[in-house]
Amino acid sequence: MSKAVCVVRKKDGAVILRADDPAQYQQLEGNWYFDAALIDPTMVDITDRTYICPYKGTCQWIDLQTDHGYVADAAWIYKEPKKGYENIGGRYGFYADHRYYEVRDCD
């Protein structure tokens, strides 16, 4: 049996995204990377703001549009990561613990 992982809103436990298959997610350097198809696209605003990681390359910050407004810099995406990090390309990166959400095992 595979382990399901969820991104859960801290305020009320609402599930932002759920990954039932381990192929849909991975953990890297303490952060979580999820297949883009798992999140409601109306919640995602890929911004022009970037961060340059010397190892992984340039990512774009993602704001989440929620029923409580925007959550700035809630996630990120490496569209074209550097060599050796291709496995996170096109996946949404989430912190394990954020002021708005946490990543944890699903019930």
Residue 68 contacts by C-beta under 8 Å, 6 or more apart in sequence? 11
Topology at the third CATH level for domain 5-105: 2.170.150
Structure tokens belonging to residue 92: 């949404």
Q: 3-state secondary structure string, the chain?
A: CCCCEEEEECCCCCEEEEECCHHHEEEECCEEEECHHHCCHHHEEEEEEEEEECCCEEEEEEEEEECCEEEEEEEEECCCCCCCCHHHCCCEEECCECCCEEEEECC
Return the domain boundaries, the chain. 5-105
Give the model confidence (pLDDT) of 2-50 as tens digits: 689 999 999 998 899 999 999 999 999 999 999 999 999 999 999 999 9
Is the pTM higher than 0.85?
yes
Give the model confidence (pLDDT) of 39-82 as tens digits: 999 999 999 999 999 999 999 999 998 877 889 999 999 999 99
